[in-house]
Amino acid sequence: MNHSTRRGRRTFLAALGATLAGTALPAWAKFQPDQFRIGYQKSATTLLLLKAHGTLEKRLAPLGIKVSWNEFTAGPQLLEGLNVGAIDFGYVGEAPPVFAQAAGADFVYTAYELPAPRAEGVVVAKNSPIKTVADLKGKKVAFNRGSDVHWFIVALLRKNGLDFGDIQPVYLAPADARAALEQGAIDAWAIWDPFLAAAQAQSGARLLADAQGVASHHEFFLSQREFAQKRQNVVAIVMEELNRQGQWVKQNTAAAAAELAPLQGLDVSIIQTSLEHYSHVYKPIDAEVLAEQQRIADTFYELKLIPRKIVTKDATLA
C-alpha cells in the first residue's frame, strides 16, 4: 500500500473515530425521546420523497415525536453524524458501515434494499483509450473514499485479474470527481446513481462496467443503537412508510422522477433512468446480507483498508 493510500485511510478513520475518545457528548448528541433525526443524501430518492410528502411527520405527531432532516454529501459523512449522535437514522451503501464499525462507531443495521448492481459503475471519458477493466492498471481512478463504490472497485478489479494496488486511487467527492474526469485529471470514475446516469447523459461519459456479477450494491438503513433499542416503534413506523413510498415509486416511476427533478436538480429523464436501476424494496436485516457484509469487511482488513477485524453481526440488536 502506497503512502497516499495509508494517509487517506488514517485520515478517514480518524474522522470517524475522533469523538470516540471523549467521555462526554454535547446535549444535542444524546438520545432524545421526543426527536427523530434522519440523515439523508440527495441520491436517497425514497427518503427525499418521504420528506417532501410529510407522511412520517403525520404518523409520529400523535406520539409527540418531532422529525428533523439532515442532509449529508455521502455515506461516510452520514455515518460520522450517526456515530457522534447528530442523527438517529440514515441510509448508506455497503462500505460505509464497515469502515465505521472498524472505527468503533456504535450503530445497528436496521433494513436493506434488495440488490441494485446496475446503479453503480465505472465510467471513462467518451474518447478515452480505456476499453476494458484490465486497462485500468496503473491509471488514476476516482471515487468517494469509504463509500459503496469503494467496495465495488475492489471487487471489480479482483474479478478482472487486478489488485487494488494496481490502480492509483484518487479520493474525490462526486462533483469534484466528475469535474476531474471532464478535465482529464483522472482516467476513470467509480460512482453511483443518479450521478452515474447524469454523467452518461450530460457529458457523454462511457460506461466501462457496472456492478452486475461483481457486487450486490445493497443500500442499508442504519440506526443509532440506543435509539433502536428504546424506539423500536418509531423504527417500525419509518420502515412502514419507506416501504409504502418505495412501492409507489415502483408503480409510478415517471411521476416520481418528475417530483424528484427539482429536489435533485437533474433532468426528469436522468432521474427516471436512475430510479429504474433500484429495487425500492426493503427487507429486515438477515443472516445472508450480514454474511455479504462480513465478506466485504474481511477483504478490507486483508487489504489493510480497515485497522482491525470486525464481526458485522455485532452491529445488530440480536
> How long is the chain?
318
Output the pTM of the full model. 0.85
Q: Which fold has domain 117-210?
A: D-Maltodextrin-Binding Protein; domain 2 (3.40.190)
pLDDT digits (tens, 9 = 90+) for 178-227: 999 999 999 999 999 999 999 999 999 999 999 999 999 999 999 999 99
The answer to whether the 3-20+28-115+218-265+279-312 and 117-210 domains have the same CATH topology is: yes
- pLDDT for position 23: 31
- pLDDT for position 31: 75
Q: Residue type at 281?
A: V
Crossing angle of helices 195-203 and 174-183, rounded to 10°: 30
- pLDDT for position 43: 82
> Cβ neighbours of residue 10 under 8 Å, at least 6 residues apart?
none
- pLDDT for position 32: 84
Whether the Cβ atoms of residue 122 and residue 156 lie closer than 8 Å to each other: yes
> What are the structural domain ranges in the chain?
3-20+28-115+218-265+279-312, 117-210
Please give the CATH superfamily to which domain 3-20+28-115+218-265+279-312 belongs.
Periplasmic binding protein-like II (3.40.190.10)
Query: Over its length of 318 residues, how does the chain's per-residue pLDDT go in tens digits?
Result: 444 444 444 444 444 443 333 334 444 566 788 999 999 988 889 999 999 999 999 999 999 999 999 999 888 889 889 888 899 999 998 999 999 999 999 899 999 999 999 999 999 999 999 999 999 999 999 998 888 899 999 999 999 999 999 999 999 989 999 999 999 999 999 999 999 999 999 999 999 999 999 999 999 999 999 999 999 999 999 999 999 999 999 999 999 999 999 999 999 999 999 999 999 999 999 999 999 999 999 999 999 999 999 999 999 997
Q: Is the dihedral of CA 197, 285, 146, 68 positive or negative?
A: positive
Residues pairing with 109 in the sheet: 222
CA distances from 196 to 1, 29, 65, 126 (A): 28, 34, 37, 14
